[in-house]
Amino acid sequence: MSSSNYHIMQLHGSFQALRQGDSSVSIYMQQAKSLFDELVVVGRPMSLQDFNLYVFYGLRGEFKDLVTSLITKTELFSYVDVHSHLLTREFLHKNSLQSMDATTSLLLQPPLLPKPQSSTHLVMSHHNSNFKHYTHQNRGQSTTD
C-alpha cells in the first residue's frame, strides 16, 4: 500500500471518527471542512452527500431533530447551508438553556412573603384607629336618644 493510499484511508477514518463533543458548531464544522479539503488535495474529493452524512453523524444529540429535518429534504445542502442551519440551532438551544436556567433559579428561590409581625401590626393599627375614631364619634351621643 502506498503512503498516499494510507493517507487517504487515514483521512476517511478521521472523518468517520469526527465527533462534535464539547466543541462549538463553528469549530466542529472547521474540523470537518479541513478533512474535506485534505481529501480534495490528495485527489480523492468526497461527495457533498457523504460530507453531510459524516457531519450529521458526529453532532451532539441536541441537533438530531434538525438533522432529521435536513435529511428528509430532496436537495443537498452546501457546507455554508449546513453550517448556517447548525449555528441557528446552536443559538436557539443556548438561549433556551439560559432561559431555563433563569426560570429554574427563580423557582428555587423561596417566595417573598410578608413577615407575620409586620402584617399583624398593620391589621391591629388599622383596627385601633377605626376603634378610636368610632368611640370618639359616639362619645358625645346620649344613650337615651
Tens of pLDDT, residues 15-44: 999 999 999 999 999 999 999 999 999 999
106-135 tens-digit pLDDT: 556 555 555 655 545 545 445 555 545 554
Q: What confidence score (pLDDT) does residue 4 get?
A: 87
> Which has more pLDDT, 5 or 100?
5
Q: What confidence score (pLDDT) does residue 76 get?
A: 87
- Say if 121 falls within a structural domain: no
Q: What confidence score (pLDDT) does residue 73 get?
A: 87
- Say if 43 falls within a structural domain: yes
- Say if 17 falls within a structural domain: yes
- Say if 74 falls within a structural domain: yes
- Give me the chain's average pLDDT, please: 79
- Say if 71 falls within a structural domain: yes
- Residue length of the chain: 145
- pLDDT-above-90 percentage for the chain: 56
> Can you give the residue range of the structural domain that contains 46?
1-88
Q: What confidence score (pLDDT) does residue 74 get?
A: 83
Residue 145 in this model has a pLDDT that exceeds 60: no
- Say if 21 falls within a structural domain: yes
28, 87 in Cβ contact below 8 A? no
Q: Cα–Cα distance between 67 and 50 in angstroms, integer?
A: 14
DSSP state of 100: H
> How many domains would you assign to the chain?
1
Torsion 30-35-41-47 (CA) sign? negative
Q: What confidence score (pLDDT) does residue 25 get?
A: 96
- Say if 140 falls within a structural domain: no
- Say if 110 falls within a structural domain: no
